[in-house]
Chain A
Amino acid sequence: MIYPWLMGFLSWHKAPMTWALVLTNVFLFMMVQGPTKNSSSAFQSPENLVLAGKMYDQFLNPNQDSLALKSDSEWMLLGAQAVRDQEFQKALGEKSFRGDQIQIEKWKKSFQFYKNDFESRTTRLFGLSPDHGASLNWITYQFTHAGWFHLLGNMGFLLLFAGALEVKLGGLVVAMLYLFSGWAAGSLFLTLSGSSMIPVVGASGSLTGIMAFYAVYEIKRRVKFLYFLSPLEGYWGFVYLPKIALVPLLFLPDLVGYFSSSDHFGQSIAYTAHIGGAAFGLTAALVYKMALLLSRSKASS
């Protein structure tokens, strides 16, 4: 196990903005978190997904004479895409579908129930998605989390990295980075998510921006890491590693996740948002360094 030993957040006075961001996230999470009705698992039964797949196939290929012959798994894959596609959902009321009309009517009722439940979820209300991109959602999605583990994971890393950055550059930079990285993360997510109605929530886009900025703006500086292999002497301690070591660990897993995951299933992790946030953080750090160099050269000349 190896973790960056960044203890800037320990001092409230040195990292007030970091703490303010963390507390805001926790407070909002506790405010909006309610009991979850899990109707999605009931709706997403194999039978419903197969039927959704058959209807979606007709939606995608309106001129087809008869239903294509596919296995149940293939229909289910299509069905899983169908329930995420807002265009298909708009067409549900207008288009007539071939097939067992009794089951289709049952499916529509059950889908309406699922959709009502989905629309009332916190992640849908405060999250960001192509059909739900009101200006306020660009901010609220950065402070909304899907569960305790999501919140704790993000806040843990936010404390470490934003705290360390705030000690160096001040709270305003951290706050701006948080908001603009979140904006960049949301933009890339919306650009690449097509007509999917699954919203993105969480501070991870903002967080990757802060982490990328932290890793790049002083790339040659070494950071203290705690390693722990066993409690025996010599098997745990501290090492100082260059910040550049953070870069592959930050970007590559998200790139891999994005390219390796099949579109058919949807992604529970918004890799594109992470990549967007990280790209913004990286660019901001480079701009910051250039500005610093320019101001130094001006001062020296």
Chain B
Amino acid sequence: MILPDSASPNLTPLLPKKASFRIPSVADRLLAFVFDVAFFTPIVALMLSGVSQRLELSYFMQGNSNEFLVYLFVYISFAFVQVVLLQSLFLVLFSSTPGKMIFKMKLQIRDTDSAARIRFPQALLRSFLWTLSLCLFFLPMIEILSHRRRQTIYDRASDLEVVSLKQDSLDHTPHWLEAQFVRQFLFVGALLFSLFVVSQLGRVYQKVAAGEFKSAPSVETDFLCDMVTQVTEKEESRTEMAAMLYLVGEVDQDCLFMESEFALGQVQPRRIAQGYFGKFLLSLSQQGGDSSFELEDLVQMKPTGETLLYTSKICEVSSESPECGLVKAWPMGKSSYDLIGPVPQLIQLQMSFLEGQWDRFEQLVLNLREQQGVYQFVSYLNLQSLWARERYERARGAFEALQIVSTENIKQRAGRFLCLAERGESCQNQLIASCQILNQAFNQRSEAWTDPRALWALVQDEKCKGTQDYSRFSQDLRTQETLRNFIRHFAAGDKSIDSRKKYFQGFFQDETKNIFLRDMAFQEWIPMTQSWDDFKLAFDHLKMRPSQSAKTARLQSVLAEQLRKSGYSFADLEKSLNSEGARAPASAEQSPEGGYSR
């Protein structure tokens, strides 16, 4: 029995010191266990093969889906029940299991006549606990080593004992030291395991308290994408709407890709042209190498490579379609002004902003405000136009209005625009509302920001405050793409050599920052060099690095390549810096801002 007999004065039942049966050896018990597992596993797996196939499939489809968890639960529970029933059957019919039969052992009711038949409840209880021990990593089995009659908890709990039928005269009782050692080991193991469980529970509690398991805020892009695929009744406008929402940054590339693929699967030429147009936009934005592209950049980008193939494909499929007219006019100029339709109008809006045609801009703003999903982007562009027209107070008012009604995406874009614009205007005011909001959003973010413009706005804000702590962006600049885009803004953001030097020293030479990040940034920065002074900075940085390192050699070769493109050699730079006190060679034609002509 598991619990002591409370009617008895003795705490533990009185068992005979000497076993009245042949105690099986440890090896026999463990080998029998191995054979039992080898016997039961394939039988159960065979019976559950159908579930197993579904489990494998659902794991592949989506390993964290509810479907997979349900299949897993079904598989484990059925396997558990089948093992319990199979073993119980063997115990009731043969008083043994297949493994025990092979190794000449059997089970009998404890301290009774060996001929007494095992009752089904007893067999069921033992099988249940045996199977449970499998789930506990076989830990209860270790008791075979320590128990003086080589019985485990599941044997004792079911009032059964394993006896050997072998005719050997060896005494398989454990030595008292061995038994003591294993018992202590089990005790310490259980204690450590409990401590581990308690500590893990504590950690989970802490995480719960810190709100780590809060459900993520609903992703607006998913919502809008669903709106495109489900709400839009007219099929023809689906892809067009997806393209428009993609251009304003309200749906991601997966959404546009899905819509384009869907359209390309249709038979109507217009639908196919729309599908190819979606692919054209995706290819064009990839061409820029910046996943956080702006419409402003995209409309001015010249299609090359695969994007050009899409251009010809669109016109090949449907030469009369607006999509064909649009891609023919790309990169956008005034010719696009004659095109009709929501996507061309959106592009015209961007173009009229860039060209400062404010009357036309305002007309288009009025037209496009009615379009689903575009209103907030139009308001954001309107904010930019107000600033460009020096209507600062109205722009600030528009910014505040956007903070109330717009999506996180537009809020962040508006914040970064105004913060950068205000900081570019003056560094005197320490409390810029847009920068404060941007900082707040940055500090509360749940994942890394991949928008280099927003990070650049924060850098400018820090510069004005006199603190240039780039380490706070480390998490956001982990991927090469983010870093490259950031450095691009960094290299283009400030033309003053003093300022560039300051950034350079702050970002690349600060020993407290992650070396990998600094090297990667340095490598990305070299192609952005604008002046001979930039080369000097890079050279100084390389001199500080260990000269024998392979990484230094690689960085040197990147710098040498950039020098070669600019018409110099690494030796020129080295010679010039060593002999002429860091003066540029005569061949470097200095421009008034300190740049050189290429």
Query: Could you list which residues of chain A lie within 8 angstroms of chain B, going by C-beta atoms?
Result: 2, 54, 65-67, 69, 71, 73-74, 77, 98-102, 227, 229, 234-237, 239, 241-242, 245, 248-249, 252-253, 255-256, 259-262, 264-265
A99 touches B52 (CB 8 A): no
Bound: A235/B546 CA distance, A: 56
Interface size on B, residues (CB 8 A): 39
Bound: A245/B38 CA distance, A: 10
**Which of B31, B38, B50, B279 makes the CB contact (< 8 A) with A100?**
B279
Determine how close the nearest CB of chain B comes to the CB of A235; give it in whole angstroms: 6
Determine how close the nearest CB of chain B comes to the CB of A125; give it in whole angstroms: 31
Which residues of A sit under 8 angstroms from B264, Cβ to Cβ?
Answer: 67, 98-100
B42 touches A252 (CB 8 A): yes
Determine how close the nearest CB of chain A comes to the CB of B392; give it in whole angstroms: 47
Q: Is B561 an interface residue (CB 8 A)?
A: no
B27 touches A262 (CB 8 A): no
**Which of B30, B39, B260 makes the CB contact (< 8 A) with A229?**
B30
Which residues of A sit under 8 angstroms from B61, Cβ to Cβ?
Answer: 71, 73-74, 77
- Identity of the chain B residue whose Cβ is nearest the Cβ of A76 in the assembled complex: B60
**Which of B34, B45, B49, B313 makes the CB contact (< 8 A) with A101?**
B313
Q: Is B490 an interface residue (CB 8 A)?
A: no
Which residues of B sit under 8 angstroms from A69, Cβ to Cβ?
Answer: 262
Q: Is B267 an interface residue (CB 8 A)?
A: yes
B56 touches A261 (CB 8 A): yes
Query: Taking chain A's interface residues, is the majority helix, strand, or loop, or is none over half, making it mixed?
Result: mixed
A256 touches B27 (CB 8 A): no
A253 touches B42 (CB 8 A): yes
Extra contacts, 8 of them, besides A73-B61, A260-B52, A264-B57 (Cβ < 8 A), are: A2-B34, A67-B262, A73-B60, A235-B27, A242-B102, A245-B102, A255-B46, A260-B49
B306 touches A234 (CB 8 A): no
**Which of A98, A100, A101, A245 makes the CB contact (< 8 A) with B35?**
A245
Determine how close the nearest CB of chain A comes to the CB of B469; give it in whole angstroms: 39
Bound: A99/B262 CA distance, A: 8
- Identity of the chain B residue whose Cβ is nearest the Cβ of A99 in the assembled complex: B264
A67 touches B35 (CB 8 A): no
Q: A2-B31, A98-B264 are in contact. Are A256 and B279 (CB under 8 A)?
A: no
- Identity of the chain A residue whose Cβ is nearest the Cβ of B43 in the assembled complex: A252
Bound: A234/B145 CA distance, A: 12
Bound: A261/B53 CA distance, A: 6
**Closest A-B pairs by Cβ, 4 of them:** A67-B265, A252-B42, A259-B49, A260-B52
Bound: A256/B313 CA distance, A: 51
Which residues of B sit under 8 angstroms from A98, Cβ to Cβ?
Answer: 264-267
Query: Could you list which residues of chain B lie within 8 angstroms of chain A, going by C-beta atoms?
Result: 25-27, 30-31, 34-35, 38-39, 42-43, 45-46, 48-50, 52-53, 56-57, 60-62, 102-103, 260-262, 264-267, 275-276, 279, 306, 309-310, 313
B265 touches A66 (CB 8 A): yes
A237 touches B53 (CB 8 A): no
Which residues of A sit under 8 angstroms from B57, Cβ to Cβ?
Answer: 77, 262, 264
Of B38, B61, B265, B266, most buried by chain A (CB within 10 Å of CB) is: B265
Which residues of B sit under 8 angstroms from A99, Cβ to Cβ?
Answer: 261, 264-265
Which residues of B sit under 8 angstroms from A100, Cβ to Cβ?
Answer: 260-261, 264, 275-276, 279
Q: A100-B279, A102-B313, A248-B42 are in contact. Are A229 and B27 (CB under 8 A)?
A: yes
Bound: A99/B260 CA distance, A: 9
Determine how close the nearest CB of chain A comes to the CB of B79; give it in whole angstroms: 12
Which residues of A sit under 8 angstroms from B265, Cβ to Cβ?
Answer: 54, 66-67, 98-99
Bound: A259/B50 CA distance, A: 7
Determine how close the nearest CB of chain B comes to the CB of A240; give it in whole angstroms: 10
Determine how close the nearest CB of chain A comes to the CB of B290; give it in whole angstroms: 20
Which residues of A sit under 8 angstroms from B306, Cβ to Cβ?
Answer: 102
A-B contact pairs, 27 of them (CB 8 A): A2-B31, A66-B262, A67-B265, A69-B262, A73-B60, A77-B60, A77-B61, A100-B264, A100-B276, A100-B279, A227-B27, A229-B27, A234-B25, A234-B27, A235-B27, A237-B27, A248-B38, A252-B42, A252-B46, A253-B42, A256-B45, A256-B46, A259-B53, A260-B45, A262-B56, A265-B56, A265-B60
Which residues of A sit under 8 angstroms from B52, Cβ to Cβ?
Answer: 259-260
Which residues of B sit under 8 angstroms from A65, Cβ to Cβ?
Answer: 267
Which residues of B sit under 8 angstroms from A259, Cβ to Cβ?
Answer: 46, 49-50, 52-53
Which residues of B sit under 8 angstroms from A227, Cβ to Cβ?
Answer: 27, 31
Which residues of A sit under 8 angstroms from B49, Cβ to Cβ?
Answer: 256, 259-260
Which residues of A sit under 8 angstroms from B310, Cβ to Cβ?
Answer: 102
Determine how close the nearest CB of chain A comes to the CB of B53; give it in whole angstroms: 5
Which residues of B sit under 8 angstroms from A229, Cβ to Cβ?
Answer: 26-27, 30-31
Determine how close the nearest CB of chain B comes to the CB of A261; give it in whole angstroms: 7
A255 touches B42 (CB 8 A): yes
Determine how close the nearest CB of chain A comes to the CB of B515; give it in whole angstroms: 31
Bound: A65/B262 CA distance, A: 12
- Identity of the chain A residue whose Cβ is nearest the Cβ of B254 in the assembled complex: A72
Which residues of B sit under 8 angstroms from A102, Cβ to Cβ?
Answer: 279, 306, 309-310, 313
A234 touches B26 (CB 8 A): yes
Bound: A199/B301 CA distance, A: 49
Bound: A265/B57 CA distance, A: 9
Bound: A248/B46 CA distance, A: 12
Bound: A241/B262 CA distance, A: 63
Of A74, A98, A256, most buried by chain B (CB within 10 Å of CB) is: A256
- Identity of the chain B residue whose Cβ is nearest the Cβ of A248 in the assembled complex: B39
A256 touches B42 (CB 8 A): yes
